[in-house]
Amino acid sequence: MSQSLKVLRALADPTRLRIMALLEKSELSVRELQEATGMGQSRISTHLGLLQEAGLVDSRREGKRTFYQLPAGAEPRVRELLTIGGRGARELPEYEPDQLNLKRILERRQDQAQVYFNQVAGRFDRSYGPGRSWQAFGQLLLRILPPVVVADLGSGEGLLSELLARRCQRVIAVDNSEKMVAFGANKAKRNGLKNLEFRLGDLQEPPIASASVDLVILSQALHHAPEPARAVAGAYRILRPGGQVMILDLLRHHFVQARELYGDHWLGFAESDLQRWLEAAGFKQLEIAVVAREEQPPHFQTVLAGGRK
């Protein structure tokens, strides 16, 4: 089989076009390709093998990892076919999410502090240490919070709002359930938290003045919003310049029973979804990462996304 036919055969598969489009921007490991595409390791490796056989991908070892990249000196005919394949990749519905994921992966490579934190977090629960607990760390972190004004959107009964109110200047908790708002307000009154206010409203259109808060939190609330992009845009509106949004939610999953069991509108979100909505709203300095994975089925994963106005 001629080289041109090998290339055409290799480029005839949409998955391989996705991989090539990613490698066009940077050399990547299998793990990074998995994260960018959401595909399994064996599937990625199979397609990489076919691309290597066709001479479209080179690889190099670095310690225990192998990195893949496009060949430096392809023949003119092959380059022409690659250009056509690149056009085809841009027509795929997965192209934009893949590229958003790649952008985040490459930015994270520069953030060694995040890498270190992930390593520490992974070790935290493996060995016992007297007096060491997430509860204690949580109390420590609360005490170093600056005196900011916080909006907790989709607050429920206000557990997080109540914790924040003990340190922050003011906390506004918003929920669309009258019972939740009444319960939270009564509890705040009993506990003497005069700086905690509960408001009935939609997290997509929060009943808060524009440019009036320093921090917006959406903690496991966004997947209840019919239009998540509107909620992110609403967060941007109420933030002061330089203010920050923090979104803690489920990574996209397939546990459909969550709709009935928990009233979830969405089965979590892809990291690329969160990045697209944050960018569209106007947020900068984005940070998006999976920060937790449950050990028991259905193995829900939690993603943390943040940005500044």
Backbone angles phi, psi at 200, to 5 degrees: -85, 125
Q: Which residue has the higher pLDDT, 183 or 81?
A: 183
The CATH number for 61's domain is 1.10.10.10
Residues 152 and 102 placed together within one structural domain of the fold: no
CATH code: domain of residue 234: 3.40.50.150
**Are 101 and 154 in the same domain?**
no
| Strands of the 301-308 sheet, one edge to the other | 196-200, 170-175, 149-153, 213-219, 239-250, 301-308, 284-293
> Domain of 82?
3-109
Q: What is the pLDDT of residue 303?
A: 94
149-153/213-219 β-pairing: parallel
pLDDT of residue 28: 93
Contact 25, 86 (CB under 8 A): no
Do 62 and 91 reside in the same domain of the chain?
yes
Same domain, 119 and 49: no
Residue 170 lies in a domain: yes
Which one of 51, 75, 109 terminates a domain? Answer: 109
Residue at 42 is within a domain: yes
- DSSP letter at 38 equals -
Split into its structural domains, the chain has a count of: 2
Residues 154 and 50 in one domain: no
Q: Tell me: do 87 and 153 sit in the same domain.
A: no
Domain co-membership, 250 together with 151: yes
Q: Would you say 194 and 220 are in contact if contact means Cβ atoms under 8 Å apart? A: no
Of 12-26, 34-48, 138-152, 258-272, the poorest mean pLDDT is in 138-152
85 and 206: one domain? no
Residue 252 is classified by DSSP as P
Contacts 24+ apart (CB under 8 A), 92-96: 92/14, 92/17, 92/18, 94/14, 94/18, 94/37, 95/18, 95/21, 96/272, 96/276
Residue 174 φ then ψ, to 5°: -120, 130
- Residue 72 is predicted with a pLDDT of 75
User: Is 54 domain-assigned?
Assistant: yes
Quick: pLDDT tens for 254-282. Answer: 999 999 888 899 999 999 999 999 999 99
In this structure, the number of other CB atoms found within 10 A of the CB of residue 197 comes to: 17
Give tens-digit pLDDT for 162-208: 999 999 999 999 999 999 999 999 999 999 999 999 999 999 999 99
128 domain residue, yes or no: no
Same domain, 243 and 102: no
Cβ atoms of 213 and 235 closer than 8 Å: no
**Could you report the per-residue pLDDT of 105-152, keeping only the tens digit for each?**
888 776 655 565 665 555 555 555 677 677 787 788 888 888 999 999
Mark which of 77, 109, 141 sits at the end of a domain.
109
Domain identity same for 101 and 116: no
- What's the one-letter identity of residue 170? R
In terms of domains, do 208 and 250 share one? yes
C-alpha R_g of the chain? 23
Q: What does the mean pLDDT of the chain come to?
A: 89
31 vs 141, higher pLDDT: 31
Q: Do 198 and 226 reside in the same domain of the chain?
A: yes
- Whether 196 and 162 have beta carbons less than 8 Å apart is answered as yes
Question: Taking residues 280-291, what's their average pLDDT?
Answer: 94
Which residues are CB-neighbours of 304 under 8 A, at least 6 positions away?
Answer: 246, 247, 248, 287, 288, 289, 290, 291
